[in-house]
Amino acid sequence: MSRLFGTDGVRACANSDSMGALSSLKLAQAAAVVLGFDQAGAGERPKAVIAHDSRISGEFIGAAISAGLASSGVDVYDAGMLPTPAAAYLVADLDADFGVMISASHNPFQDNGIKFLARGGKKLPDAVEDRIEAVYTAQDFLRPRGADLGRISRFADAEDRYVTHLISTLPARSALEGLTIVLDCAHGAASGCSPDAFRMAGARVHVMAADPNGTNINDGVGSTHLEGLQAKVREVGADLGIAHDGDADRCLAVDERGQVVDGDTIMSILAVARKEAGKLKDDTLVATVMTNLGMEKYLETEGIRMVRTKVGDRYVLEAMKAHGYNLGGEQSGHVIMSDYATTGDGILTGMHLAAEVNRTGLSLSTLATRFDRVPQTMINVSNVDKYGVDTNTAVQSEIASVRSELGEDGRVLLRSSGTEALVRVMVEGPTESIVQSHAQRLADVVAHELRLEAPVA
């Protein structure tokens, strides 16, 4: 039987069997057992914070989850539409036993997801998700009566608390004074609090895609569609632009010329700034295997070590927690500043990036071009046995050959897709022609050696 929880909670098409009203209610009842009464102190009623992004389905799913929690004896604090990092912060700020975020991040509005947050606003370990799933499957729920039922309350000052927290992380309340910034809120969860936060920090703000109607989240806007933001930044002569995704746990930026600044570059700027301020733990940045080699070499010249993990913000977070590092993230814009947040926070990241532009007096384009990117290409090879990459002799021999030819001037990475019969071949090297040639060589060997007999539907 397939696992209910994926890499980032439960996610499916809204109103499908696994993301319907009844399944959501039962999942909440299961979470109440594991995260509520197993964790709360003796005689205390557990409490949970719940929030959602702007999807139309978040309303009925949220109602079902609130009903499931309250019927299990949990007091529910409904924070309404807020970003995922806001929900995480509020769980800690309220000292709640756990939290629930209803969002499918950058997915289209038809999808939705349910993500649970442990005490302190932290992600759940797989083992805890497995316990919730076991209770969900067995339907071994709690059935309190009378005064033992939970209450559902509107968390009226939730957004204000979160915005106040964001401002408090800046070196000064007016850290963005004098900057002109365009914000693309993806018609998502950041639509209210992101413009408020940037304005309160002193910036002159132009807002776009901040009119959610339940169905327009991520629709041609946000961090996966930067064209509109690029044009707006150039049109108004802004210092920079910030693009969020649907639940605002990540951001990408656009410089004053309208050029994209990805998560890797944002991390490099923040890492150098924090090292200079003596605030980068062990002078170390945590990034993934996809981070460009050119950035790693640049950071070395700045006295910053880079630790690489597998692709996925959960692996970045695990490495940070294991060694106490306080900055990490991904190319996609998931940046974790663990001094201030337990998860990636696109508003927090964007504000600190803008503050660095203001502090240095340098343009974002100047900050973003401190290092030369090594040419990088990726080829997706489909309909192959993705599990055979590490064991096939011919594939491993070709990988070794390419690595030998590239030497210290390049990197080779083959990654198996988590959901498809597909292998991603990534090569970095000194020139575009060299990386294309080597990547195609590897892709051809993978396709020949690992080809499946019948196409996978």
| Catalytic residue (choose from 66, 71, 72, 105) | 105
Listed in sequence order, the residues at least 6 apart from 130 whose beta carbon sits closer than 8 Å to its beta carbon are 5
Report angle CA 88, 94, 95 to the nearest 5 degrees: 90
**Is 365 marked within a binding site?**
no
Beta bridge partners of 363: none
Phi and psi (nearest 5°) for 50?
A: -125, 140
Which structure tokens are listed for 235? 């049109």
**Is 160 marked within a binding site?**
no
Instruction: Please indicate whether residue 404 is annotated as part of the active site.
Output: no
**DSSP output for 36-94:** IITTSPTTPPPEEEEEE-S-THHHHHHHHHHHHHHTTT-EEEEEEE--HHHHHHHHHHT
DSSP symbol at 220: S
**Is 247 marked within a binding site?**
yes
**Is 245 marked within a binding site?**
yes
On whether the CB atoms of residues 116 and 36 are closer than 8 A, the answer is no
Listed in sequence order, the residues at least 6 apart from 257 whose beta carbon sits closer than 8 Å to its beta carbon are 234, 365
d(CA 443, CA 233): 39
228-248 core/surface letters (b: 16 or more CB in 10 A; e: else) = bbbebbeeeebbbbbbbbbbb
Radius of gyration of the chain (CA): 23
d(CA 185, CA 246): 8
d(CA 344, CA 328): 9
Classify 279 as helix, strand or coil. coil
Binding-site annotation: residue ranges: 105, 245, 247, 249
Binding-site annotation: residue ranges for Mg(2+): 105, 245, 247, 249
User: Which residues are tagged catalytic?
Assistant: 105
